[in-house]
Amino acid sequence: EIVLTQSPGTLSLSPGERATLSCRASQSVSNNHLAWYQQKPGQAPRLLIYGVSTRATGIPDRFSGSGSGTDFTLTISRPEPEDFAVYFCQHYDYSPSFGQGTRLDIK
Amino acid sequence: QVQLQESGPGLVRPSETLSLTCTVSGGSISVYHWSWIRQSPGRGLEWIGYTYHSGSTNYNPSLKSRVTISVDTPKNQFSLKLSSVTAADTAVYYCARTRVGWETVYFFDYWGQGAQVTVSS
């Protein structure tokens, strides 16, 4: 079972300041089998990125995903006020797992 | 636009069975796989299992002995039953459309709003 560890736990930034969120896997992830989600308070997670770097339908291009092997990154180039939320990574698997999340806070 | 809506009791007594239903609108349940996922402060997001319109299922090994997921194609619904619940099963339960390939769960592209279920006497 692959364990996903996200860092930092909380990231405090000003709107417009580039956000870099990390997801590290305990074993190498094959075939770009990683997705990212955004969750706002009281809402369900929303799919942002799948296949490491493909944006889901309707996701703005300020969101981008990258990485390979065990290290993956979600970048928000110029966060808007509505982007301050919690972000989760998820590994594709027979029994998929999620990271514990990174909270993006407004400084 | 596909929409999912969870329904069911918000309070379940310990040792009893938790039952939830997810109603899918805006699309046929006969095309994709459909999952249940739960979220709690202590356990984070946890995938419970999925079903397909054929009735085939796949469950999280850690919950497999207590979980049954079934599909009702004419009603465009699928359901979750979790038996012998304890306080540790208290969580927000989500239903979600699931992309699957070669028995590998890929990702979840549409989610319901979530249903809070509390296990307490």
Query: For the residues of B14-62, what is the DSSP string, one character each?
Result: TTS-EEEEEEEESS-TTSSEEEEEEEETTTEEEEEEEE-TTS-EEE-TT
Q: Does A96 touch chain B (CB under 8 A)?
A: yes
What is the percent of chain A with per-residue pLDDT over 70, rounded to a whole number? 100
Residues of B in contact with A50 (CB under 8 A): 99, 106-107, 109
Tell me what pLDDT residue B108 has: 98
What chain A residue is nearest to B62 in terms of C-alpha separation? Answer: A95
Would the CB atoms of A98 and B45 count as touching at under 8 Å?
Answer: yes
pLDDT above 90: residue A57: yes
Residues of A in contact with B44 (CB under 8 A): 98-101
Tell me what pLDDT residue A30 has: 84
- Euclidean distance between CA atoms A32 and A5, whole angstroms: 17
The total of other beta-carbon atoms located within 10 Å of residue A91's CB is: 24
What chain B residue is nearest to A1 in terms of C-alpha separation? Answer: B61
Q: Considering just the CA atoms, what is the radius of gyration of chain B in Å?
A: 13
The total of other beta-carbon atoms located within 10 Å of residue A49's CB is: 25
Question: How open is the CA angle A78-A84-A86, to the nearest 5 degrees?
Answer: 120
Residues of A in contact with B112 (CB under 8 A): 44
- Euclidean distance between CA atoms A98 and A78, whole angstroms: 25
- CA nearest to B51, candidates B98, B117, B3, B118: B98
- CA nearest to A95, candidates A33, A28, A45: A33
Q: To the nearest whole angstrom, how far is the Cα of B107 from the nearest Cα of chain A?
A: 7
Tell me what pLDDT residue B3 has: 97
The total of other beta-carbon atoms located within 10 Å of residue A77's CB is: 13
Residues of B in contact with A56 (CB under 8 A): 109
Q: Max CA-CA distance within chain A?
A: 39
Which residues in chain B land under pLDDT 50? none
Q: Does A2 touch chain B (CB under 8 A)?
A: no
| Interface mutation target, options B45, B92, B109, B116, chain A, most CBs of A under 10 Å | B45
What is the percent of chain A with per-residue pLDDT over 90, rounded to a whole number? 95
Question: Which residue's entry shows tokens 């956000």?
Answer: A19
pLDDT above 90: residue A76: yes
CA atoms in the 13 A half-sphere facing the CB of B92: 17
Partners of A9 in the beta sheet?
none
Tell me what pLDDT residue B38 has: 98
The pLDDT mean for chain A works out to 96
